[in-house]
Amino acid sequence: MQIHGEPNPLFAPVQVNATTVRNRFVLPAMQRGTRDYRPTPGMADTLRRTAEGGSGVIISEGAAPDHPAAYWQPAFGIIGRETVDDWRRVAHAVLGTGDTVFLMQLWHPGALRLVLDGVPNPHPGHPALSPSGLVQEDRPNGEAMTRRDLEDTKEAYVQSALIAQEVGAHGIEVHCAHGYLLDLFLWHETNRRDDEYGGATLAERAAYPAEIVSAIRAATGPDFVISCRFSQWKEVDYGARIAEHPDDLGPFLARMRDAGVDMFHVSTRRFDAAAWPELDSRRSLASWVKTMTDRPVVAVGSVGLTTDLARDIFDNEDPELRLEEDIVRVRSGLKAGDFDLIGVGRAQIANTNLVNRVRDGDFVGLRDFRKYRDLAEAYENYVHEGQLVDQSRKTA
């Protein structure tokens, strides 16, 4: 598509490792379609429709590597031998649409398991695990990982990545964001280890996430796409920072890149919000990252919506749709080299054909995102008298 004679950067292909992505739109991981630890046919159908709707990259909702301490509740999936056929159905649904790139997100709840929901441990005898037994400074849960736990968990990640490869996914995304297991290693508040997995700098604390990426790279080969998702914010602390200063980021990105990361997915509440306004009033986190790595960078957060995820899902402030004006901002960001791809989450839940509508310049009649309406089907077990009960308040 051309706009005023210029090629539209939103629809220019981009290379991620050996894989070509047809346009710049990503469906980020959004947990909403798993039951009994398995992806549902509904998940396959929704992702297929979003692929048909034009998204260049589809990322499956976060699902855990098959390790007992990673099991949370049956509403959150497992990528293990018992669920391989279910994942194959999802992969075939997406890949059958033609040229969409399909990644599966590997998510381990870490110390956040049990805490948000207060539900019983599905595997008694396997407490929640984390670097130092902390969800947050002064908020303990579960146990600090032993060397054995670190090895077993790493192996579970590798096995899940191999399953993703076996079912035909182009790659995986390692979820190092939002206060879950690998982010707990990155965050200075929750990683108090005095072995080689701790340290004073973000790059030092990235040792375990980097080790997992290297192990996945070694097992899956050079072409398998590995995305790394990280964030400043945590579910338990929206003001948290893993990097106090942009200078902390460069060595972290270099370590993860050298371990085998092909793409950085920078999760923020608003894609173009300044990350360090005191240093630069306009530069977003993705844009800072872009200056520090040669790997493609995905920006995400509130594209097309007036309200960010926290205010929407947790504070019940329904967003308004303002897609057309945000698309102009996204196009300028791409042209300015602030990022390479853009994640559109809730607006694509409400409109699985959003990307094709943008391509055609047809913004009329697109739907607002309404969580009670749009998540109710996926969360049918958890909707009670019009309210999403506690389990579904968690978002990963």
- Angle (deg, nearest 10), helices 84-95 and 41-52: 20
> Site for ligand FMN (CB under 6 A): which residue of 40, 105, 190, 352?
105
Tokens of 67: 């390790």
Tokens of 35: 């039951």
- Site stretch for ligand FMN (CB under 6 A), options 1-9, 80-88, 281-289, 338-346: 338-346
Helix (H) or strand (E) holding 52: helix 41-52
Name the amino acid, one letter, at 56. G
- Residue span 129-168 as binding mask against ligand FMN, x where in contact by CB under 6 A, dash where not: ----------------------------------------
Contact 192, 132 (CB under 8 A): yes
Size of the site for ligand FMN (CB under 6 A): 27
Please, what is the minimum distance in Å from the beta carbon of residue 303 to ligand FMN?
Answer: 5
Q: Please, which residue, 193 or 241, has the CB nearer to ligand FMN?
A: 241
Question: Which residues, 216 to 235, sit near ligand FMN by CB under 6 A?
Answer: 229
Q: Which residue do the tokens 């005023």 mark?
A: 4
Q: Does 75 bind ligand FMN (CB under 6 A)?
A: no
Antiparallel, parallel or unpaired: β 64-65 and 57-59: unpaired
Q: Does 346 bind ligand FMN (CB under 6 A)?
A: yes
Q: Does 40 bind ligand FMN (CB under 6 A)?
A: no
Alpha carbons 169 and 70: distance in angstroms, whole number: 22
Please, what is the minimum distance in Å from the beta carbon of residue 106 to ligand FMN?
Answer: 10
Q: Please, which residue, 89 or 269, has the CB nearer to ligand FMN?
A: 269
- Taking alpha carbons only, the member of 290, 302, 246 closest to residue 264 is 290
Q: Does 30 bind ligand FMN (CB under 6 A)?
A: yes
Question: Which residues, 191 to 220, sit near ligand FMN by CB under 6 A?
Answer: none
Question: Which residues, 298 to 337, sit near ligand FMN by CB under 6 A?
Answer: 300-303, 305, 309, 313
Burial of 320 (0-12, 13-18, 19+ CB in 10 A): exposed
Burial of 281 (0-12, 13-18, 19+ CB in 10 A): exposed
Q: Does 391 bind ligand FMN (CB under 6 A)?
A: no
Please, what is the minimum distance in Å from the beta carbon of residue 92 to ligand FMN?
Answer: 21
Q: Does 28 bind ligand FMN (CB under 6 A)?
A: yes
Q: Which residue do the tokens 């964030």 mark?
A: 231
Q: Please, which residue, 43 or 134, has the CB nearer to ligand FMN?
A: 43
Q: Please, which residue, 144 or 383, has the CB nearer to ligand FMN?
A: 383
Q: Does 29 bind ligand FMN (CB under 6 A)?
A: yes
Tokens of 246: 């942009």
Q: Does 351 bind ligand FMN (CB under 6 A)?
A: no
Note the helical H segments in the chain.
41-52, 84-95, 147-167, 181-186, 202-205, 207-220, 249-259, 285-290, 309, 323-335, 346-350, 354-359, 371-374, 390-393
Q: Does 77 bind ligand FMN (CB under 6 A)?
A: no
DSSP state of 271: T
Please, what is the minimum distance in Å from the beta carbon of residue 305 to ligand FMN?
Answer: 6
- Site stretch for ligand FMN (CB under 6 A), options 129-137, 217-225, 249-257, 345-353: 345-353
CA torsion, ordered 159, 160, 163, 165, to nearest 10 deg: -100
Alpha carbons 283 and 274: distance in angstroms, whole number: 5
Q: Where do contacts with ligand FMN occur on this chain (CB under 6 A)?
A: 28-32, 61-62, 105, 107, 175, 177, 229, 267, 300-303, 305, 309, 313, 344-347, 375, 395-396
